[in-house]
Structure 1
């Protein structure tokens, strides 16, 4: 389950960056809103999957509430899920 969460975390981070730095600038600076809908939908689905998997893993791996909330908040910040994937989940990965 942790491996799936790491993949979703990476994809969610990429979708957030694509939304903020590709789709939104195209909409507002080039008057081309075509990418907002598909990128926004992908990001929304990945965000929901990220939060659901984080909640499942919170109880499965017995994360503290602080760690859980930090992992959830990281999904709202650009590059936050990359930090979670590479730093905060290192101790949960079996050797």
Structure 2
């Protein structure tokens, strides 16, 4: 399940970057709002799935509350999920 969570975290991070650095500039700089709705919807769905999986893994893997809160908050800033995955979800063979 951790492998699936890593994939979801990566997709959530990519969707946030596309929303913030592609769709929003297209809307506000070039007056092309068509990409906001599908990109925002994809990001919202992935964000929700990310939080649900983080909650499930918190109890399955017995994460401390501090780690769980940090992992959840990492989904807010751009690049947060990438940093979180690298710092908190590395397997011993990857470190």
Are positions 1:49 and 2:44 aligned together? no
Moved over 2 A (4+): none
Name the Cα RMSD after superposition. 0.9
**Which residue of 2 is the match for residue 14 of structure 1?**
14
When normalised by structure 1's length, the TM-score is 0.95
Are positions 1:70 and 2:62 aligned together? no
In 1, Cα distance between equivalents of 2:81 and 2:13: 5
Are positions 1:85 and 2:85 aligned together? yes
In 1, Cα distance between equivalents of 2:92 and 2:51: 22
Unaligned runs of 5+ in 2: none
**Which residue of 2 is the match for residue 35 of structure 1?**
35
Unaligned runs of 5+ in 1: none
Instruction: State the 1:86 CA deviation.
Output: 1.2
Instruction: State the 1:94 CA deviation.
Output: 6.2
Q: Secondary structure at the match of 1:15?
A: helix
When normalised by structure 2's length, the TM-score is 0.95
In 1, Cα distance between equivalents of 2:74 and 2:37: 23
Instruction: State the 1:87 CA deviation.
Output: 1.3
In 2, Cα distance between equivalents of 1:94 and 1:73: 24
